[in-house]
């Protein structure tokens, strides 16, 4: 055995050549089936690590590409879900509005709030209906939850609504249960109150509706609920803190009630009287 090793070492060039040539000839001498088998074994043992590495690399590349595609799909689907969800909510609101419109005895003009006044001074909103739809100043505006304000300026296709949040806006209201009348007002646009006479029949939780006496809102529109009663410094009055029914932060769709102010005819008559008096004085 030792002499074989010694021979190989001393004649390593020839031995190496012989070894590889014999291996080559052995492979060549096999029939096609044997050659294929040897090729398969060699391919598997020699190329498998590389193949595995390339497969893994390709797989990682595929995963990265798939991840990118999934992210895009996810973003698209999120947008679609948001749109569908929004459409669903809008559908609910419009269905509710439709129900209100059907049961309400006045002619209602549905409108969408397109601009909200960001300032805390006027507290107004602009809606997408105007003269074109037959709107006039002082027409009341409401939501499905109750009174929201009145129109103060009418343009061709838009109108400005003064919300009841506006401190300059005062609304004549009454307690639905006891018919006690008061004026719904606010000083800061967020805290609403009504000053009642000290002995007025008002309880916490009472529903407040419009009285119809102001000449603008029809009688019976929901305005709010009594949240708290406070004793005033003046013993003649007591103050009822009111929570409005309308969520003014989420004002999206409204109705305009096509009602001319009840005092309009009086005003007309008064104006004509004043004009005739001045004419007589001039003569």
Partner 1 sequence: MISDAVKWVLVFMVSLILQTSFVPVITIAGIKPDLLIVALFFFSIKYGVIPGIFVGFALGLGQDLYSPSMLGQNALTKTVAGAFIGLFNERMMRSDPLIKTVLLLVVFIIHDALFFIVQIARLGDPVSTLFLGLLTKCLPRALYSIAVAVLFYIWDLIPKPGIRK
**Contacting residues toward partner 1, per CB under 8 A:** 12-13, 16-17, 20-21, 23-28, 30, 35-36, 38-39, 42-43, 46-47
CB 65 to partner 1: min, Å = 23
CB 57 to partner 1: min, Å = 15
Between 13 and 278, CB nearer to partner 1 = 13
CB 38 to partner 1: min, Å = 6
CB 25 to partner 1: min, Å = 7
CB 32 to partner 1: min, Å = 8
Calculate Rg over the CA atoms of the chain: 43
Residue 253 β-bridge partners:
112
Between 38 and 82, CB nearer to partner 1 = 38
Between 47 and 53, CB nearer to partner 1 = 47
Residue 142 β-bridge partners:
147, 255
Between 36 and 276, CB nearer to partner 1 = 36
Between 12 and 177, CB nearer to partner 1 = 12
Q: Is the dihedral of CA 49, 54, 58, 63 positive or negative?
A: positive
Between 41 and 63, CB nearer to partner 1 = 41
Burial call 158-169: b when 16+ CB within 10 Å, e when fewer? bbbbbbbbbeeb
Q: How far apart are CA 63 and CA 184, in angstroms?
A: 64
Between 20 and 85, CB nearer to partner 1 = 20
Q: How far apart are CA 178 and CA 200, in angstroms?
A: 9
Residue 181: which residues within 8 A CB-CB, separation 6 or more?
172, 173, 174, 211, 213
Residue 111 β-bridge partners:
254
CB 85 to partner 1: min, Å = 53
Task: Confirm if 181 and 213 have CB atoms less than 8 A apart.
Answer: yes
* DSSP states of 190-253: S-EEEEEETT----TT-EEEE-S-SSSSPTT-EEEEEEEEEE-SSTTEEEEEEEESS-GGG--E
Tokens representing residue 220 in the block: 């019976």
CB 9 to partner 1: min, Å = 12
CA distances to 34, 184, 225, 244 from 203, rounded to whole Å, are 103, 16, 10, 16
């Amino acid at each position: 055995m030792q002499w074989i090793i010694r021979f190989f070492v001393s004649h390593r060039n020839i031995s190496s050549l012989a070894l590889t040539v014999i291996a080559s000839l052995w492979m060549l001498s096999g029939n096609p089936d044997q050659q294929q088998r040897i090729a398969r074994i060699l391919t598997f043992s020699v190329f498998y690590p590389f193949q595995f590495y390339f497969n893994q690399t390709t797989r990682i590349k595929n995963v990265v590409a798939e991840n990118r595609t999934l992210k895009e799909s996810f973003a698209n689907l999120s947008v679609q879900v948001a749109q569908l969800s929004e459409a669903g909510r809008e559908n609910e609101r419009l269905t509710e509005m439709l129900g209100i419109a059907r049961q309400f005895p006045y002619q209602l003009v549905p409108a969408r709030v397109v601009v909200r006044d960001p300032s805390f001074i006027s507290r107004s909103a602009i809606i997408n209906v105007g003269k074109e739809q037959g709107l006039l100043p002082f027409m009341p505006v409401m939501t499905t939850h109750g009174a929201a304000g009145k129109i103060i300026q009418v343009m061709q296709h838009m109108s400005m609504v003064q919300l009841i949040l506006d401190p300059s806006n005062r609304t004549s209201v009454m307690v639905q249960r006891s018919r006690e009348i008061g004026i719904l007002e606010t000083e800061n646009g967020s805290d609403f109150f009504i000053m009642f006479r000290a002995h007025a029949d008002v309880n916490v939780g009472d529903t407040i509706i419009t009285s119809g006496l102001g000449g603008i809102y029809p009688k019976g529109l929901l305005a709010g609920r009594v949240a708290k009663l406070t004793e005033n410094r003046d013993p003649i009055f007591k103050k009822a803190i009111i929570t409005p029914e309308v969520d003014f932060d989420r004002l999206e769709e409204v109705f305009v009630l096509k009602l001319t102010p009840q005092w309009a005819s009086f005003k007309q008559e008064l104006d004509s009287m004043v004009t005739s008096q001045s004419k007589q004085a001039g003569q």
